[in-house]
Amino acid sequence: MKRNSITLLFILSLWLVGCTRDFVDDSKPYNVLNPDIFPENMGQVDYFLNSPYANTHCVELFGFSGLGRFFYNLDHTGDLAWLGTSEWNELQVLRISAANSYSGAPWRGLYRGVQQARTFIDQIVPNYKTRKGNSLSAADTLALRYKLGEAYYLRAWHYFFLMNLYAQEVVVKSNGNNATPGVILFTSDIKIGDRQDEMRPRSTVKQCWDYVIADLKAAMAHLTDPNNGVKKTWAGADKGRIDYYAAEALLGRALMYEERWTEARDAFLDIVQNAGKSLMPFDDYYNMWNGNPKYSATENNNTEALHQISIVRSGDNAMAGGSTASAVSLLITPFYDNGVPGGATPGYGNMFMHDRNLGRFGFPQQYYPVMKDLGTPGRTVTTSYIDSCRNMKTLKRYGVDPDPRLWVCAYQPWVDSVMNNTAKVAILPYGGGPETEYQLNQAQNSSIIKHGWSLRKFNLFDMQASQNPRMHGADFYFTRLPEIYLNLAECYWKISGNNTDADALNYINRVHRRAWNLPDNSNQAIDYTAVTSGTRITKANLHPNRADAGFQDQLALNALYYETWAETFGEAKWWFNVRRWNLGSNEAKVYETTRAGAISWSSNNQYALPIIQTELDRNVNCVQNQGY
C-alpha cells in the first residue's frame, strides 16, 4: 500500500499544533514517520485516530458511492433510472469486470482505512510511548489504551468489509479450514515503505477471519480498564466513539463466519444483558435515517445504536474529498411535485427502489393507481387510491397490510411528502426514464409495473429544492440492537437445531413486534411460531418469477432471513447475508430483471467481486478471483 497519502495529514497536524520541526524523514522512502520528532502530544495522537474514523465515510465508501453506486446495485435495493454508465449496469446484472471502477473503489477506500489504523497501532502510539517514557501520566496511559482499542476495531471493521466483498469464499465450516484466497493482510511485520515487502499474497479465508477475530479481541481488551475491569463506554461529546460493546458485536459476527455459534451467542448475550441498549419506539425508528431536525435529539441519543457514524452537514462537497458530510443521497434523491408533470429532484435522481421489493414487503405488487386525466398535463391519481394506500400505511392490519417497514425504507408516490421551500409536497413516481404511466403520460401494457417508489433511508425529511445533497446527509448505524437480536436468534437456532427453539423465536419476534408497533410482550397474535416453514410464513409475497413458475422466495419461508432483510433494508448490509447464507441464486430469481437487463446467476464465483486490476498490475503475488 502506498503511504504518500499520510503526508498531507501530517502537515495539517503540524500546522494545527504550531510545531515548527520536520516530522517526516525525507531520506526514507514514502516519507515515513520520524519517531524522534512525532507525535509530540496527545492532540497529535488524536489526529491520527481521526483518520480511520473519517475513512468510514470517505468518497469510496459511505461519503458518496457506497449506496447508489455500489451496495444498492449488488443487492437490488434499487433499480437504475440512469442507464448511461456501463459500470453501473454491470453491477445491476451481476456481470462485472476487473476493470469496473465502481466495483474496485471500495477496495481502495477500505485498504486506506486499514493503512490508517495500522499506522496508528504500529507507529503513532508506540512512538509516543517511547518519547514520553516515564513522564507519561496514568490518565494518558489509560487514554492511549482506549485509543488503541478503537484503532483495533476500525482495522477489523475495514477488513470485515473487504472479506465480504472480495474473499473468494467467506464461511469456514465448523471452524475448520478454508484455504481459498481471502484478502491481503498487511500485518505488523511488513516493512512500511518497502514496496517489495508489501507485495504480499492473499491470505486464506481462515487466516483472514482469525486475524479479524484477534483484532476484535485486542480491541475489547484495550477497551477494558485494567485497574477495575470496567468495560469502556462513551457519553456526551464522545458518544459515537467505538466502545467495548461495539467491538464485541463485530466479534460475534466474525465468529459466525467460522460457525463458532456458542462463542458468538455468548458475545451477543453480553451485549443484550449489559450494554444498556433498547429498541427505539416505532415513531423514532421511522425517523432514524432522515436528518429531520424534529428528531435530532433522538438521532444523537439513539438507544439502539452500537456503532453510529455522525454525519455533520457542512458547506463542503462530500463527493470531492474529505468532508464531515455525506453525499450518498445525491444519487437516490426523490422526485417531488413542483407543479410540473414529472416533478423535480434536488440531486441526480439516478436510482429508485426495485419494484420486486414491494412484493417482498407484502405490498400488492400489481396494485397500480388509477390515473386521472391521463394524457393531459394535469394528470394525477384518484383519491380512492391515495386513501386506500394511506390506510395500508397507518392501520397496520397484519392480515392484509404490507410490513410497516416498507414506508420506513421507501417514499410512496402521491402518499408520502417532503419539504419544498416552506410547504409539504407530494412525492412523485421516479423520473428520468422508469416506465410508469405517469411519466410517459399514456396507458401502458399491464406487464409494465414500474411503480417508481423513492428510497427513503438517508434521504432528508426537510429537503429543499435549493439544498445540495453533496453537502449533507443522515447518520449511519453500522450496528444496531435489532441486528444483535437476530444474530442471537441464529446462534440459538444453529446450536439447538430446533426449528421452534424458544430463544431463537423470542429474539426474532422482538424485532417483528417493534415493526408492527406492538408491545414487546410474548404471545402477540403476529408472533412467528417457527423459524422456517414449507409454506409462506412472512410478508414476502412476490409476483411470480416468469422464468420459473414454481419458484418460492426463501425469505417467504424463513422468518430469520426475512426479518433480517426487512429490518436492515437500505443499510448496505444485506449482501453480506446473501453471501453467508448462500442466497445468490434465490436473489437472482427474486429480482429477475432490472432496467439494465436480465440478472444472471450461473456460478457461486459471482459472490466475490473481482480484485481491481490496478492491484493485480502492481502486486505480482495477488491472484484474481475465480470467474474473472
Give the helix/strand (H/E) hosting 231.
none
Residue 617 has pLDDT above 70, yes or no: yes
> In the predicted model, is pLDDT for residue 12 greater than 70?
no
| DSSP element (H, E) containing 418 | strand 417-420
Neighbours of 618 (CB within 10 A): 12
Read off the amino acid at residue 494.
Answer: K
Are the CB atoms for 454 and 430 separated by under 8 Å? yes
Give the type of residue at 526: I
Q: Are 403 and 567 in contact (CB under 8 A)?
A: no
Amino acid making up residue 227: N
Give the largest CA-CA distance in the chain: 82
Query: How would residue 301 be classed by pLDDT, with cut points 50, 70 and 90?
Result: confident
Question: What is the pairing mode between strands 351-353 and 417-420?
Answer: unpaired
State the pLDDT confidence band at 1, using cuts at 50, 70 and 90.
very low
Q: What angle do CA 428, 432, 426 make, to 5 degrees?
A: 10
106 backbone dihedrals φ, ψ, rounded to 5°:
-60, -35
pTM of the model: 0.93
Q: What angle do CA 100, 104, 105 make, to 5 degrees?
A: 120
At 431 the pLDDT is 81
pLDDT at residue 15 above 60?
no
Q: Residue 425: beta bridge partners?
A: 418
Question: CA–CA separation, 266 vs 487, rounded Å?
Answer: 11
573-586 confidence digits (pLDDT tens): 999 999 999 999 99
Residue range 120-127: average pLDDT? Answer: 94
C-alpha to C-alpha distance for 541 and 403, rounded to whole angstroms? 11
The set of cell numbers assigned to 224 is 477494558
pLDDT of 465 > 60? The answer is no
Torsion of CA 603, 606, 611, 613, to 10 degrees: 80
> What is the Cα–Cα distance from 543 to 409, expressed in whole angstroms?
20
Per-residue burial over 592-606, b = 16 or more CB atoms within 10 Å of its CB, e = otherwise: bbbbbeebeeeeeeb
Cell numbers representing residue 593 in the block: 430483471
Question: What is the pLDDT confidence band of residue 291, given thresholds at 50, 70 and 90?
Answer: confident
- Measured CA to CA, the distance from residue 73 to residue 80 in angstroms comes to 8
Average pLDDT, the chain: 89
625 with 103: CB under 8 angstroms? no
Ramachandran angles phi, psi of 165, nearest 5°: -95, -40
So what's the pLDDT on residue 408? 96
Strand partners of residue 411: 454
Tell me the per-residue pLDDT of 243-275, one tens digit each, with 9 for 90 and over: 999 999 999 999 999 999 999 999 999 999 999
Q: Break the chain into its structural domains and give their ranges.
A: 328-469
What separation in angstroms does the CA of 617 have from each of 97, 167, 375?
A: 15, 19, 56
**Measured distance CA(387)–CA(393) in Å, rounded:** 10
The span from the CA of 224 to the CA of 270, in Å, is: 14
Q: Is the pLDDT of residue 466 over 70?
A: no
CA distance 425 to 418: 6
Q: What is the DSSP string of 426-494?
A: EB----SS---HHHHTS---TT-----PEE-TTS-TT--TT--GGGB---EEEEEHHHHHHHHHHHHHH
Q: How far is CA 528 from the centre of its chain?
A: 27
pLDDT per residue as tens digits for the range 384-423: 999 999 999 999 999 999 999 999 999 999 999 888 878 8
Alpha carbon separation from 428 to 333, 336, 345 (Å, rounded): 11, 5, 10
Q: Is the pLDDT of residue 490 over 70?
A: yes
Count the neighbouring beta carbons within 10 Å of the beta carbon of residue 324: 16
- In contact, 167 and 579? CB cutoff 8 Å: no
Cβ atoms of 75 and 575 closer than 8 Å: yes
